[in-house]
Structure 1
Amino acid sequence: MTVDTHHHLWDLDVRDQPWMTGPEMQPLRRDFRPADLVAALRGTTVDSTVLVQTVSDPDETPEMLVLADSCDRIAGVVGWTDLTARDVRERLGHLLSNPSGRWLKGIRHQVEDEPDPDWLTRPEVLSGLAAVEDAGLLYELLVRPHQLPAAIKAVGQFPQLTFVLDHCAKPPVASGELEPWESRIRALAAHPNVVCKLSGLVTEDDWSAQPDAGRLRPYAEVVLDAFGPARVMFGSDWPVCLLAAEYGEVFRLAWELTSGLGDAARQAVFDTTARQVYEL
């Protein structure tokens, strides 16, 4: 039994994915639908997944909720809404009252694309985070290392809100550097309401060098040590991971990177923590 806490689906006939720019993104410029997900999971122990938003479009989240109704592997959805909107509470209520609203577990925004490194601490954003907390949802942090100081401040203001850090905050794997990423990760992990996804590392490395557990291990070890296995969850980041590795390779890499853990700790990373955090 394994939960994949991070994957995407899209249909380019329904909606473009504007972040797919440049020839290097060509492998992703096709449709990825529930049947493709089921095919990718073959040969792994993954039985439940969390579907995560890809664009800042209010129409995407209701569509993902419907997909969760139609695909028995999808056990939860992390959607998007405009945190800065004055009616953010009404928007969240509308999503939760959707006929498929029971699948909505959290909200995410592509903070990584915001030019302001302090975006997360803007008053209107903090007000939006309060609305997420009051709605009984969690908030996923999609940030880069230079945005971690603001994330740490925001997290500190909402000790009762669960935050989930995506992709280990995208460390500089390709360069092999650890600082200042490591110090900031440890400061964020000092807040007990933050959980981290062991995901997205393969695409932060040199794609042609994949897969290489040795290059990823220093970053995985920092995360496992800082958060502890009980606050780390496996995520594939499929199909984005296909830029560097197939689904099965990503799964095997994560298994190898956690080889030093005991059985219970490993089970937490691959299963039990996710079921608790997302209430699956």
Structure 2
Amino acid sequence: TSKFHDAAYFGEGAKRRDAYTEEEFEIQAVACGLDVDRCVFVECMLGDAVAEASWALERCRSHDSKIGAVVAHAPAPDGGDAVEEFLRRLPGCDAHRKPAGLAGGRVVLLGDPMPHKFACLDPLYGEGLGALHARGLHWEWCCRPESLPAVATQSSRFPDMTFVLDHCGHNAGGDDFKTWSRDVAALADRCPNILCKLGASEEWGLQSEKPGQFIKHAISVFGADRCLYESNFFVGHAAHGLAYDHAARLTYDALAGEQPGCCDDEDAVALVFAGNAKRVYGLGH
């Protein structure tokens, strides 16, 4: 069945279910008036990473699914051998090719206990990234703001590899716009091989600050050609009660600048909402 599991996304006492279906995803998008052509399945921290990725890759091959690419829970932090063993267990993968639909990997720099802010600089982590790069796969960073300098350092060691910074690099960052804005600008300048996903503001822990200024700043330092819209389904709706188009509206308004709801830069909108994703994830190929 077409299910997304809620894994570790709900706090104590939060309303949760066993799974959220792909059909629900499409219903929510249509209800908000959004025409989703293709989407990307990003790992959900399930216990069996091979089973999760295999299921998602199977959906990629299905004509009745909008999933066009998969970012798997590939164990780069555990080194190159661990990555190769993970890939070997996926259907359609051998020593010379990657499975059709597999675009990249991610293991979040979050959790309990929280990884050290320099965790991604471990030599094994670098070996794991190198193994993914050799297979033509990219890597996604999902981290707290305090990890941004280390993320920049590690990403700069692989200048020909593509990296994606999820959630604007502001998970649980709170209202400290000053520190985040400085560090994310430094990262964008140092690492032209990093793109930034604009979304998941419900996970930033904002109290008084508005998410729009964070998204606008990300667009200003990365440029529209290095930014991607992210819906954060199912977490935004199921855990925080947000409409599916919440992140889309924030992103569109950030692109519009002084005229929210009316963006004249059609090229920028096309890049952020479609073109960059097609390029990075191979959607439509």
TM (normalized to structure 2)?
0.83
Q: Secondary structure at the match of 1:77?
A: strand
Query: Contact (CA 8 Å) 2:142, 2:171: kept in 1 or not?
Result: no
Is 1:106 aligned to 2:99, yes or no?
no
The 1-side partners of 2:275 and 2:184 are apart by 23
Query: Contact (CA 8 Å) 2:59, 2:65: kept in 1 or not?
Result: no
Is 1:79 aligned to 2:82, yes or no?
no
Q: Secondary structure at the match of 2:218?
A: helix
**Alignment partner, residue 5 of structure 1:** none
Q: 1:1-280 to 2 correspondence within 5 Å?
A: 9-11=3-5, 17-24=7-14, 26=15, 28-42=16-30, 43-55=33-45, 57-58=48-49, 59-70=51-62, 71-83=64-76, 84-85=78-79, 86-95=81-90, 97-98=92-93, 101-113=99-111, 114-170=114-170, 174-175=174-175, 177-190=176-189, 191-205=191-205, 215-242=210-237, 243-260=240-257, 262-280=265-283
TM (normalized to structure 1)?
0.85
The size of the alignment, in residue pairs, is 261
Query: Contact (CA 8 Å) 1:62, 1:98: kept in 2 or not?
Result: no
Provide the identity percentage.
Answer: 26
**Offset of 1:252 from its aligned partner?**
2.4
The 2-side partners of 1:182 and 1:174 are apart by 12
The 2-side partners of 1:171 and 1:21 are apart by 15
**Offset of 1:93 from its aligned partner?**
4.2
**Offset of 1:255 from its aligned partner?**
1.9
Q: Secondary structure at the match of 1:195?
A: strand
Cα–Cα, structure 1 residues 18 and 172, in superposed 2: closer, same or farther, change >3 Å? Answer: closer
- The amino acid that maps onto 1:188 is L
**Offset of 1:173 from its aligned partner?**
6.9
Query: Contact (CA 8 Å) 2:74, 2:83: kept in 1 or not?
Result: yes
The 2-side partners of 1:183 and 1:9 are apart by 39
**Offset of 1:205 from its aligned partner?**
4.8
Cα–Cα, structure 1 residues 166 and 109, in superposed 2: closer, same or farther, change >3 Å? Answer: same
The 2-side partners of 1:151 and 1:278 are apart by 21
Structure 1 spans left out of the alignment, 5+ residues: 1-7
